[in-house]
A and B are shown apart, each in its own frame.
Chain A
Amino acid sequence: SAVISQKPSRDICQRGTSLTIQCQVDSQVTMMFWYRQQPGQSLTLIATANQGSEATYESGFVIDKFPISRPNLTFSTLTVSNMSPEDSSIYLCSVRDSGALEEQYFGPGTRLTVT
């Protein structure tokens, strides 16, 4: 299993500002993902963070709004840009094990409130 930490754990931000969330993993992993959970909704995949290349975004998510960096195999950042109240969510970093079961592990999340 992997141990994942995220910073910050929570934040309250003003509309129009940006927040960068950091994700640190205790081991090298190939596959790293960013999810969000809006209030009352399912966990939704934002993008796959690719090491050394641009992230792969899911339908409905764009790089200008959610730029992602992945400088190495243990670290990634997600920026939520030009925030609006609709961006209030829990943002989670996740990694996938390369074993047969492809288990997926999650960080504790960043709880973001945009006012």
Chain B
Amino acid sequence: ILNVEQSPQSLHVQEGDSTNFTCSFPSSNFYALHWYRWETAKSPEALFVMTLNGDEKKKGRISATLNTKEGYSYLYIKGSQPEDSATYLCAFFSSGSARQLTFGSGTQLTVLP
């Protein structure tokens, strides 16, 4: 059983604050690390697919980094806005022919106006 952990479980920040959260995953058999943003009653939205150690990806105010050797990824949000409130999920994609996503339990972010 693959262990993918996210911290913190939940987070409240003020509008304008920058924040970050962590995803840890197995450092062996790595293929990719996916980040999703999931708002209630909507489809999880794919944010990033990260494949290379040292990768850094950016989408507007959101960015992510990847360390495959030590098995962690950080997601950063700069200048949080109330519309950033959502659950942020990471998912580990292992190598091998039967590749499946293993999800963390998510970080629930609430941005207070």
Kindly state the separation between the CA atoms of A42 and B104 in the bound complex, as whole angstroms: 6
Quick check: A42 and B105 within 8 Å, CB to CB?
A: yes
Per DSSP, chain A at the interface is: loop
Is B46 touching A41 in the complex (CB atoms < 8 A)?
A: no
Asked whether A67 is an interface residue with its Cβ less than 8 Å from the other chain, the reply is no
Contacts of B34 in A (CB 8 A): 103-104
Using A42-B103, A42-B104, A108-B41 as known contacts, say yes or no to A102 and B46 having CB atoms under 8 A apart: no
Query: Residue-by-residue, is B30-70 near A (CB-CB < 8 Å gives 1, otherwise 0)?
Result: 00101010000111101001010000000000000000000
Report whether A107 and B105 are in contact in the complex, using a CB–CB cutoff of 8 Å.
no
A45 interface contact, C-beta 8 A: yes
* Size of B's binding interface in residues, CB under 8 A: 22
Determine how close the nearest CB of chain B comes to the CB of A41; give it in whole angstroms: 7
Q: Assess A43 versus B51: contact at CB under 8 Å? Given A104-B46, A108-B42.
A: no
- Stretch in contact with the other chain, from B11-19, B77-85, B93-101: B93-101
Q: In the complex, which range does the number of interface residues on chain A fall in?
A: 20 to 34
Residue interface mask A37-54, B partner, CB < 8 A = 1: 000111111000000000
Note all chain B residues with C-beta closer than 8 A to A4: 43
Please provide the chain A residues from 13 to 57 with a CB less than 8 Å away from any CB of chain B in the complex: 40-45
Which A residues contact B (CB, under 8 angstroms)?
Answer: 1, 4, 9, 40-45, 58, 92, 101-109, 111
12 extra A-B contacts, CB within 8 A, seeds A41-B105, A42-B105, A92-B44: A4-B43, A40-B105, A42-B103, A43-B89, A43-B91, A43-B101, A45-B100, A58-B100, A103-B34, A103-B46, A107-B43, A108-B41
Please provide the 4 A-B residue pairs with the shortest distance between their CB atoms, ordered closest to farther.
A43-B103, A106-B44, A42-B103, A101-B49
For this complex, 18 residue pairs linking A to B, each with C-beta atoms less than 8 Å apart, are A41-B105, A42-B4, A42-B102, A42-B103, A43-B91, A44-B103, A92-B44, A101-B49, A102-B32, A102-B93, A103-B46, A104-B46, A104-B101, A105-B43, A106-B43, A108-B43, A109-B41, A111-B41
